[in-house]
Structures are given as C-alpha cells and as structure tokens.
Amino acid sequence: MGFIPPKSHMAVLLKDFYKPLVIEHIPTIEPKGESVLVKTIATGICHSDIHAWRGDYRPAGLPKKLPIVLSHEIVGTVVACGDGVPKPLLNRKVLVYPWQYEEEDEFTLAGLTQLGRKRRRLGLDVDGGLQEYVYVGHYRFLVDVEGLDDVPALAPLACAGLTTYRAIKKLINYVGPDDYVAIVGLGGLGSYAVQWVKTVLPYVNMIGVDVREEAIEFASKLARIDCIVNPSKVNPIDEVLRLTKGRGVRAVVDLVASPKVVATYINVLDTKGVYVLVGHMGEEGVTIPRPRVIRNELTIVGSYTGSLSEQHEVVNLARRGKINYSAVVTARYRLDEVNEAFKSIEEGRTLGRQVVVM
C-alpha cells in the first residue's frame, strides 16, 4: 500500500491583510493525472510575501484569492502522484518551481515559463508553501534535489536564488573582462547576487552598494566584493565615478528599485550601460532621466524571477558547490512562529533569507 493523502492538513492562511496569519486545517487535494502532492520540508519567506500580507499588491489584483496560503519557496518530498506521473518521482526530494502556468503559449513554449500568459504562481495565484502538503498541478515543475546537503536551505533558490541568477546572466552580453558592475542592495537577494557574479562573471569588478554595514559585512563573507559603497557615508555617484576613473559602470543590477534608488544609480552608468531592474518594493513607477538615456544609449531592462530551465541550472550549480546556499539562511522558524517571522522580516531585522521548517 502506498501513501494515502489525509483528508485535511495544517495550513497558514492569509485571511485579512496585515492581520495575524491563522493556522487552520484545509482540505488536502488528491493528485490526479499529471499532478502531485508534495509534503513540505521547508518553505522560505520572501519580501514579496510580506508585501502580499500587507496588501501592497492589491493594485495589481494580487493575491488572486483570499484566504490564500503564502510562500513560494518550497522544498519537499513527493508523497502522492496522479496516474500520468513517472513512477520514479515518488518519494524524491524536490524543489518546487513556483512560477507556474496553466496552459502553454508562445512564451512558455519558448522556454520563458515565468512569463506565461495564464500564470498559476504559488502563493500569489494559488496556495503556496506554508502548509503541510502542497498540491502541484504538473510534475514538470519539480526539480530533483536528492543528495544535496541542508535541504531546508535550498528553498529560497526557488525565488531569491533564481531571480538573481537570471538578472546576473542578463549581463553576459553587456559586460566584458575588467568592466565594473554595481550590485545595489546586499540584503536577501544581494546575498545570492554577489555569489552569482563570481560564478557567472568572474572577470568583472564588483561594486557592492548598501546603507547597512551589517548587510555589507554579511555579503562580503559570501563572496569577495571588490569595492564597497555605503551611501549613508559617501555621495554614491561621486564615489562610483571615482572608483571607475570617471567612466561609470557598465551595468547596475538594482535589487531595491525604489524610485529614489533608480533615480540615483542610473547616473552611475557609463555610455551604453545597462540598468537591470529586479527588486520591486511597492507598485509605484519611477522617473526616467530621458536625456541621459538617449544621449548615452542606455538600456533599461526588467528581470522577473527565472525560467524553469534556469531553475534546473541553479540547482545544478548548487550541486556542484558553485553557490553557498546554506550560509544565506540566517533563521529557521517553526510553523507556529510564522507571525513572528513575518514581523521580523517586515521590520528589516534580518540578514540573508529565512525559512520555515516543518
């Protein structure tokens, strides 16, 4: 006899914005066809979960439903499968690719799975990871992590690790040996970004920017950052120009992307430079300094999470020791400590990333 899914299981529900999350039993969905049921080992708490909880994404119509189970950084074990799922998947440890879609279209078929027109993102469109069992609509969204160490710490590779990987890979066509690249924001995303720069673009000079000394120190332990700029101590534009002998950087990867940050760091780009927007704190827009963009032929690009094939690349690189994912995770909470976890992340009391371990 195989595993029989329970009728119901424990889940953390967002019922009212900015109110404490509630732990309740919800019905367990029995997988059919190509779908699977994953027993959660750990699930990460992302800044976007904090935004969703606060109701900051309501202008964008997210989350799609209430109540919803938040969190999209899930590792677990496949415990039940529909008839259409290959048998060897059963009992495997997997990372769940959260940027799922409901049907194929020109983007998903081109491998841009995160840009599907009909999105079914975990923790935003459908229930996510803060529950004992997660229903996954198709087994194609599972990435095998069997054999990797410290499985709970793998969870944030589904969002923070993946998002920064895609953003840094975008620079390959823009930067060359000895060019300067600025990473703005050395928090949860930055902790991975500085490591990806060393792995993907080992030939560039990296400038790390953050106002928090403790974040600078934390990121510097994960990867050697060539130059540090702390805007609370120096004028960041002057300082970057000084470091680059008046030229500016070839690329900025902006992991904060608030209006003020964009307005500042677009001014440190050299001619033909590229500005990659990644973080998205809130829904407001930014002002673009049109003359600078035109006269210097600057490129501004958005980068949204990552594709399923990039998710496989991230896990393969982790398997080969190319990213220290364990050291990024600074706190491990129990399910019943979830409100405490949300509060401390919201208040910015954390470094690196945080996971809830079941």
Q: Which stretch binds Zn ion (CB under 5 A): 16-24, 42-50, 124-132, 333-341?
A: 42-50
Closest separation in Å from C-beta 280 to Zn ion? 10
What is the total count of residues that contact Zn ion (CB under 5 A)?
Answer: 3
Q: How far is the CB of 101 from Zn ion (least distance, A)?
A: 17
Using CB under 5 A, pick the residue from 48, 71, 108, 195 that binds Zn ion: 48
C-alpha 331/C-alpha 42 separation (Å) is 12
Q: How far is the CB of 269 from Zn ion (least distance, A)?
A: 27
| Type and span of the H or E element at 273 | strand 269-277
As a whole number of angstroms, the distance between CA 77 and CA 38 comes to: 5
Q: Which is nearer to Zn ion, 155 or 159 (CB)?
A: 159
Stretch that binds Zn ion, among 47-55, 181-189, 217-225, 258-266 (CB under 5 A): 47-55
253: amino acid identity, one letter: V
Q: How far is the CB of 30 from Zn ion (least distance, A)?
A: 28
Q: Which of residues 146-205 bind Zn ion (CB under 5 A)?
A: 159
CA 71/CA 73 separation, integer angstroms? 6
Identity of the residue, 72 or 138, whose beta carbon is nearer to Zn ion in the bound complex: 72
Provide the minimum distance between the beta carbon of 74 and Zn ion in the complex, in angstroms, as a whole number: 11
**Residue 283 C-beta: closest distance to Zn ion, Å:** 16
Q: Closest CB to Zn ion among 123 and 208? A: 123
Considering the rule CB under 5 A, would residue 43 count as an interface residue with Zn ion?
Answer: no
**Shortest distance, position 159 Cβ to Zn ion, whole Å:** 3
Query: Of residues 324-353, which lie at the interface with Zn ion (CB under 5 A)?
Result: none
CB 355 within 8 A of CB 333: yes
Judged by CB under 5 A, the stretch of 29-37, 46-54, 205-213, 294-302 that binds Zn ion is 46-54
Q: Taking the alpha carbons of 225, 231, 237, 239 in that order, is the dihedral positive or negative? A: negative
Helix or strand holding residue 207 (H, E): strand 205-209
* Residue 181 contacts residue 204 (beta carbons within 8 Å): yes
H or E element: which one contains 302? strand 299-302
Cα dihedral across residues 103, 106, 108, 112: positive or negative: negative
Nearer to Zn ion, 46 or 215 (CB): 46
Q: In terms of CB distance, is 17 or 304 closer to Zn ion?
A: 304
- Residue 290 CB, shortest distance to Zn ion, in Å, is 31
- Give the residue ranges of DSSP H helices in 151-233: 160-169, 188-200, 213-222
SS3 at position 136: strand
Determine how β-strand 133-136 pairs with β-strand 36-45: antiparallel
- Beta strand ranges found along 14-54 (DSSP E): 22-27, 36-45
User: Which DSSP symbol is given to 102?
Assistant: S
Smaller CB separation from Zn ion, 180 or 342? 342
CB 42 within 8 A of CB 351: no
CB of 46: closest distance to Zn ion in angstroms? 3
Out of 46, 257, 328, 329, name the contact with Zn ion by CB under 5 A.
46
Nearer to Zn ion, 46 or 315 (CB): 46
Tell me the C-alpha distance between 350 and 265, whole Å.
Answer: 25
Nearer to Zn ion, 57 or 180 (CB): 57
If the CB atoms of residues 46 and 157 are measured against Zn ion, the closer one turns out to be: 46
Measured distance CA(202)–CA(259) in Å, rounded? 30
> Which residues would be at the binding site for Zn ion (CB under 5 A)?
46, 48, 159
